[in-house]
Amino acid sequence: MNKFMGCAILGIALVGSGCALTPSSSDGDRGDKPDVTQLPPMPAAEPSLEDPDLANGMAEPAPHGNADASDQDLWDRIRRGYRLDLQQDNPRVSAQRDWYARHPQYFTRVTTRSERYLHFIVEEAEARDMPLELVLLPVVESAFDPFAYSHGRAAGPWQFIPSTGKYFGLDQTWWYDGRRDIVRSTRAALDYLQQLSERFDGDWLLALASYNAGGGTVSRARRRNEEAGLPTDFWNLDLPSETTAYVPKLLAVAQIVNTPERYGVTLHPIEDQPYFATVDAGGQIDLAQAARLAEISSEELYLLNPAFNRWATAPDGPTDLLVPVDAADTFRERIAALPAAERMRWMRYTIRPGDSLSAIARRHRTTTSVLRDINDLPGSTIVAGRTLLIPERAADDYPLSADARRARQQDRARAGRQRIDHRVESGETLWALARSYDVSVRELARWNNMAPGDPLRIGQTLAVWTEDGPAATRRDERRDEMIRKVRYSVRQGDSLYAIASRFNVSVNQIRDWNNGVKQRRYLQPGDHLTLYVDVRSAP
Q: What percentage of the chain carries pLDDT values higher than 70? A: 79
Instruction: Please determine, for residue 98, whether its predicted confidence score (pLDDT) is greater than 60.
Output: yes
pTM score of the predicted model:
0.69
423-435: per-residue pLDDT in tens? 888 778 888 888 8
Range of lowest pLDDT (35-44, 140-149, 499-508, 516-525): 35-44
**Residue 298, C-beta contacts closer than 8 angstroms, at least 6 positions apart:** 287, 288, 291, 397, 398, 399, 400
233-257: per-residue pLDDT in tens? 999 999 999 899 999 999 999 999 9
Instruction: Please determine, for residue 262, whether its predicted confidence score (pLDDT) is greater than 60.
Output: yes
Give the model's pLDDT for residue 247. 95
Boundaries of every domain in the chain = 66-263, 276-342, 345-392, 412-477, 483-534
Residue 190: pLDDT band by 50, 70, 90 thresholds?
Answer: very high
CATH superfamily entry for domain 412-477: LysM domain (3.10.350.10)
Does domain 66-263 fall into CATH 1.10.530.10? yes
Which architecture does CATH list for 345-392? Roll (3.10)
Give the model's pLDDT for residue 72. 66
Give the model's pLDDT for residue 480. 45
Give the Å distances, CA to CA, from 368 to 61, 153, 287, 372, 373: 37, 24, 22, 6, 9
Give the model's pLDDT for residue 62. 53
Number of helical (H) and strand (E) elements in the chain, helices listed first:
21, 8
| Arithmetic mean of pLDDT, 482-495 | 74
Burial readout 48-57 (b: 16 or more C-beta within 10 A, e: otherwise): eeeeeebbbe
Given the candidates 3.40.50.2000, 3.30.210.10, 3.10.350.10, 3.50.50.60, the CATH classification of the domain at 483-534 is: 3.10.350.10
Q: What percentage of the chain carries pLDDT values higher than 90? A: 39
| Arithmetic mean of pLDDT, 142-154 | 88
Give the model's pLDDT for residue 7. 32
Task: Give me the chain's average pLDDT, please.
Answer: 80
Burial of 70: CB neighbours in 10 Å, binned 0-12, 13-18, 19+: exposed
Q: Which residues participate in catalysis according to the annotation?
A: 141
Give the model's pLDDT for residue 233. 96
> Shortest CA distance to 193 belongs to which of 247, 232, 233?
247
Collapsed DSSP state (helix, strand, coil) of residue 275: coil
Between CA 234 and CA 249 the distance in angstroms is 14
Between CA 386 and CA 363 the distance in angstroms is 18
Instruction: Please determine, for residue 417, whether its predicted confidence score (pLDDT) is greater than 90.
Output: no
| Arithmetic mean of pLDDT, 85-104 | 90
Instruction: Please determine, for residue 42, whether its predicted confidence score (pLDDT) is greater than 60.
Output: no
Task: Answer with the residue of higher pLDDT: 117 or 402.
Answer: 117
Instruction: Please determine, for residue 65, whether its predicted confidence score (pLDDT) is greater than 50.
Output: no
Give the model's pLDDT for residue 5. 38
514-530: per-residue pLDDT in tens? 765 655 557 778 788 88
Give the model's pLDDT for residue 363. 81
| Arithmetic mean of pLDDT, 97-101 | 92
Give the model's pLDDT for residue 468. 58
Residue 157: pLDDT band by 50, 70, 90 thresholds?
Answer: very high
| Arithmetic mean of pLDDT, 288-316 | 91
Give the Å distances, CA to CA, from 372 to 310, 349, 456, 457: 18, 14, 22, 19
Residue 231: pLDDT band by 50, 70, 90 thresholds?
Answer: very high
Give the model's pLDDT for residue 61. 55
Give the model's pLDDT for residue 456. 86
Q: Given this chain, do its domains 412-477 and 483-534 carry the same CATH topology? A: yes
